[in-house]
Amino acid sequence: MACHEITYRVPYADTDQMGVVYYANYLTYFERGRTEMLRDAGLPYSELEKQGIFLPVIEAHCKYLAPARYDQLLTLQSWVEEIKGVRMIIGSKVIYAGTTLVSGSVTLACISADRKPVRAPEPLIAACQPFFL
């Protein structure tokens, strides 16, 4: 299948005084990418929450390769690596001008409104099919 892509221009607020993106903001970029992927799949977080399903991050991995800088137009890529039982793994990359700056993944847990682990619902699995790699 294919990964999901969006573009994002780095605002000054995401950088330090040298104009380099703060390391922690890459995890925010991962979140932005997966949020838009789910929205484009037809299941935005707000819809999942209405159905009583929440997807908190329980683990994150991030490999920093090169810095992004103020005003660069980045490509944020997201894809589904796995949906199994109560967990979902989303892969991510931040790319500038064809160069990967950061790669990694986050593991999400499917939990109900009463904070109990639940299997990933079938509509979520089906919606994510186009983004499995």
pLDDT per residue over 26-60, tens digit each? 999 999 999 999 999 999 999 999 999 999 999 99
∠ CA 83-56-116, rounded to 5°: 85
CATH 3.10.129.10 fits 4-131, yes or no: yes
Please give the pLDDT value at position 95: 98
16 is catalytic: yes
Please give the pLDDT value at position 1: 58
> Exposed (0-12), middle (13-18) or buried (19+): which is 80, by Cβ within 10 Å?
buried
pTM: 0.92
The neighbouring-strand residues paired with 54 are: 111
CB neighbours of 55 closer than 8 A, spacing ≥ 6?
A: 45, 48, 88, 108, 109, 110, 111
> Residues 16, 40, 71, 114: which is the catalytic one?
16
Please give the pLDDT value at position 18: 87
Mean pLDDT score, 97-117? 96
Residue 89 · residue 9 · CB < 8 Å: no
Please give the pLDDT value at position 2: 87
61-105 pLDDT tens trace: 999 999 999 999 999 999 999 999 999 999 999 999 999 999 999
Buried b (16+ CB within 10 A) or exposed e, 25-52: bbbebbbbbbebbbeebebeeeebeeee
